[in-house]
Structure 1
């Protein structure tokens, strides 16, 4: 199925509520992560961005991208449930990869929840492979570990 053309640009202040609503509709938010705070953090400096994809003016896709100078990371890849299956996720991931290439970042990593087989399969079609690394995490604000 042909992909509609997406106009991809950095998020604006006016986009925040629509982006958060899209993330919620896609099941990407969790109680311990405030999506508006995540957006604010990503917008603070040149090493990260939130990209939005618009079709006919409506936000139908997003991705949050950032890097540490060597490794890039992508989060909140979302496509409106009514627009899935049209290649928009592929288009957003291509935009993320282009953003990282322009920053000179040679590697892109991402996290997928174990139970999300659909997302894992999607990323594998784009050439991503499961890493042999184990991710460890620690909350620095005193919260208990969460899944």
Structure 2
């Protein structure tokens, strides 16, 4: 099985949204297509996909990264259920970290929904450390 990591292309949109749906990453209050459009307007080079070379370039993983000058963030890390535990997620995170480091980013963080112990264990294995914070948020643009 061969696959590679590359930058997202607009023609990947429907495959990426389907992958996010299958992975349980979408939420009713976030329009995934709008999230993609927004990312393409800000640091689009930090939106990565993993592509299965043997399956007609099928999208098998994604990660969105961002850097605000203080820290980097990872979002929408996912891999197809058919390709889990094969290094796709690790490769996506490694490439996102490399791109962030090349931008001068000193640290990277991400959020994991409560109860998603499998995701936390994945990040533990990659050397991410858990810490307790309270997240707050405010919706500035309503997608629905």
Q: TM-score, normalised by structure 1?
A: 0.88
Q: Which whole-Å CA distance do the structure 1 matches of 2:132 and 2:22 have between them? A: 31
Report what 1:21 is aligned to: 18
Report what 1:42 is aligned to: 39
Report what 2:3 is aligned to: 6
Report what 2:107 is aligned to: 107
Q: Which structure 2 residues correspond to residues 41-120 of structure 1 after superposition, within 5 A? A: 41-46=38-43, 49-56=46-53, 57-120=57-120
Report what 2:136 is aligned to: 136
* Deviations, residues 89-134 of structure 1 (Å, cap 9, x unaligned): 1111101101101111111000000111100110011011112332
Runs of 4+ in 1 over 6 A off after TM superposition: none
Contact 2:63 2:77 in 1 (8 A): yes
Q: Which whole-Å CA distance do the structure 1 matches of 2:142 and 2:6 have between them? A: 35
Report what 1:124 is aligned to: 124
How many residue pairs match? The answer is 140
Which SS does the other structure have where 2:49 is aligned? Answer: strand
Residue 97 and residue 5 in structure 1: after superposition, are their counterparts in 2 closer, same or farther (change >3 A)?
Answer: farther
Report what 1:33 is aligned to: 30
* Deviations, residues 54-88 of structure 1 (Å, cap 9, x unaligned): 12122111101111012101111010001101111
Which SS does the other structure have where 2:46 is aligned? Answer: strand
Q: Which moved more, 1:131-140 or 1:26-35?
A: 131-140
Structure 1 residue 25, shift from structure 2 partner: 0.6
Structure 2: stretches of 5+ with no match in the other structure: none
Which SS does the other structure have where 2:34 is aligned? Answer: helix
Q: TM-score, normalised by structure 2?
A: 0.90
Which SS does the other structure have where 1:43 is aligned? Answer: helix
Alpha-carbon RMSD across the aligned residues, in angstroms, is 1.7
Residue 5 and residue 95 in structure 1: after superposition, are their counterparts in 2 closer, same or farther (change >3 A)?
Answer: farther
Structure 1 residue 47, shift from structure 2 partner: 7.2
